Amino acid sequence: MNSIKTVFLMTLMAVILMAVGAVFGGRQGIVVMFMVAMAMNFFSYWFSDSIVLRMYHAGEVGPDHRLYRIVAELVQRADMPMPKVYIIPTDVPNAFATGRSPSHAAVAATEGIIAMLNDDEIRGVLGHELSHILHRDILISTIVATFAGAISMLANIAQWSAIFGGGRNSDDDNGGIIGLLVTIIVAPLAAMLIQLSISRTREYMADDEGGRMTDEPLALARALEKIDAYARHRVLPGATEATAHMCIINPFSGVRRGMASLFSTHPSTADRIARLEKLDRELHG
């Protein structure tokens, strides 16, 4: 069901892109903005692992490290390639996965998460992150970002064209003032909400896969509860809005409350825990 929802939302994003492009620049507008966005996000996709790991000052660890051994155990169970394993030097607990494919992937966890969680809970967190790698969520997020970026570019161009009188005249306008307002205001907002919805859907999928991979959904639930409680008081050093969706708990959850939580990249932790408890009952009765 989550996979079907992702496909539907990605299709909807493509439809919005085509509609906005047609209103503002016809077929040429769609193609040009899509190609520009593709070029930007291709670079981000290809080099995302090294860029993000450098941002967080992550250091690679080998087989002697506790984290590496748990990852090795899980990848053998999941029959997938061994990713590189990194430690982030901060006491704020969090973790993420990155890389362009299962054979070119990395898993990173903070010193804080290693100190806070027991082995079962760390196993649950790593199962969640390995699920992102298995399902190629980095590729999916890049494709979605490409659509959203192209829509935003078209909206910005339409806005400045309207301000300086360079827009299309009323004779060949494909929507008049209504079409212009939709292009400038509604389309970018819709694209952002779809992007956030896809991110949340992939988090649910990773929770489910992580719980099944370790056969201990409640261990992952306990880990999420502990990490979330910490994140409400301290932001992960080096975290940015562009990388927040990668973390197992949004590092800005402490500063996003009330209406702001509607624009979070992650579902509510309480909802994720409830789903994991339901999965545990399904697996163990």
pLDDT tens digit string along 50-65?
788 998 999 999 999 9
pTM: 0.78
Two tokens at 18?
A: 């085509």
Strand order in the sheet with 59-60: 59-60, 84-88, 104-110, 95-101
Task: Give yes or no for residue 174 having a pLDDT over 70.
Answer: no
pLDDT at 176 over 50: yes
Q: Rounded distance, CA 216 to CA 198, Å? A: 25
**How confident is the model over 23-36, as pLDDT tens digits?**
655 666 667 666 76
Contact 44, 226 (CB under 8 A): no
Residue 175: pLDDT band (50, 70, 90) is low
Is the distance from CB of 133 to CB of 71 less than 8 angstroms? Answer: no
**Amino acid letter for position 108:** A
Residue with the larger pLDDT of the pair 195 and 125: 125
pLDDT at 171 over 50: no
Q: Active-site positions?
A: 129
Mean pLDDT of 245-259: 77
Q: What is the mean pLDDT of the chain?
A: 82
Of the pLDDT bands very low, low, confident and very high (cuts 50, 70, 90), residue 275 is: very high
Tokens linked to 99: 């890389």
Q: What is the pLDDT of residue 26?
A: 60
Nearest alpha-carbon partner for 127 in 277, 276, 236, 283: 276
Of the CA atoms within 13 Å of residue 85, those in its CB half-sphere come to 21
124 has a pLDDT exceeding 90:
yes
Going through the chain in order, the beta strands assigned E by DSSP cover 59-60, 84-88, 95-101, 104-110
What is the torsional sign of CA 271, 118, 70, 89? positive
Range 241-263 average pLDDT: 75
CB 40 within 8 A of CB 149: yes
Residues 10, 210: Cα–Cα separation, whole Å: 24
Q: Confirm if 164 and 201 have CB atoms less than 8 A apart.
A: no
pLDDT in tens, 113-122: 999 999 999 9
- Categorize the per-residue pLDDT at 204 as very low, low, confident or very high, splitting at 50, 70 and 90: very high
- For 161-170, what is the mean pLDDT? 56
* pLDDT reported for residue 244: 84
Between 86 and 197, the higher pLDDT residue: 86
Spatial separation of the C-alpha atoms in residues 207 and 194, rounded to whole Å: 20
Q: Where are the domains of the chain?
A: 2-54+135-284
Who has greater pLDDT, 23 or 253? 253
Determine the Cα–Cα distance for residues 107 and 70; give it in Å rounded to an integer: 11
- pLDDT level of residue 143 (50, 70, 90 thresholds): confident
